[in-house]
Amino acid sequence: MLAPSRSGLSLPAIVKRSGLPKSSAHCILVTLQRQGYLYRNENTSRYMFSPKLFSLANMTLGGMKLREQAAPSLYALMQQTRLTVHLAILEQHEGILIGKVDGPGIFRLATWIGKRMELHCTGLGKALIAHLPEERVDELLREHGLPRHNDNTIASAKRLKQDLAKAAELGYAIDDEEDEIGLRCIGAPVFDHTGAAIAAISVAGTTAQITAENVREIARHVKNTAAAISRVLGYTPEQNLSVVQKAGRG
């Protein structure tokens, strides 16, 4: 209802058009306003879209384009590894899946487009933040903390930063049953033409599929695929050297 209204709508107008009880409509509006999605004009008492919605729309459009560009590489990675492949972007203090290619067989991971992923205990999440400035990582930790999913989940900022430094050096990150017991995930960052890590890809599977014996070979495929997608986005090896050096100094 608000989308086509140029000057916004008042609470009475929304109640009339929606048929919702006034208390329910008010509760929804206040919640959206507090979350930053709506703005209430103090002079007219009308509710309107806030700039946050436009930034989300831009992110969605960018994610759709990235998914299109990455699709052939994601499918090729699934064929190489026979594992489920994910593509994610960073949104506030979480990763959001914008692409998925299921591996063969009847086993299916409980993931979907739009699912939010933890940053500290998934291969995707670690790959997304491994090249961020330390101040930004500290900010993310203050905002979200380190929720524990099981005994393997990283629970200290110091250990997480050590993991991120290792991921930046190796070019890939590992979730070794840190998010869910019985599952492993290997993620690698995707860089754009400016050298910023704008996304990450990963393969995920059971501990029987990703083992100590094949983890390096699988990681090589993940890194190569992430590099291929980065090249499509205009990224160059020279920028990669610069990113790694910065990460090392951090």
The two tokens of residue 36 are: 């930053």
pLDDT band at 204 (very low <50, low <70, confident <90, very high): very high
Q: Among residues of the chain, what percentage have pLDDT more than 70?
A: 90
In this predicted structure, the answer to whether residue 250 has a pLDDT above a threshold of 50 is: no
- Span 110-129, average pLDDT: 93
Residue 227 pLDDT: 96
Alpha helices in the chain (DSSP H): 11-18, 22-34, 51-81, 123-129, 134-144, 157-170, 215-232, 237-249
Query: Of 28-37, 149-158, 164-173, 241-250, which gets the smallest average pLDDT?
Result: 241-250
Residue 117 pLDDT: 92
pLDDT band at 59 (very low <50, low <70, confident <90, very high): low
Q: Which of 60-69, 185-194, 231-240 has the highest mean pLDDT?
A: 185-194
List the chain domain ranges. Answer: 9-49, 59-249
As its CATH architecture, domain 59-249 has 2-Layer Sandwich (3.30)
Q: How far apart are CA 234 and CA 158, in angstroms?
A: 34
Q: How far apart are CA 98 and CA 68, in angstroms?
A: 10
Residue 57 pLDDT: 61
pTM (two decimals): 0.73
Q: How far apart are CA 250 and CA 236, in angstroms?
A: 22
Q: How far apart are CA 125 and CA 201, in angstroms?
A: 10
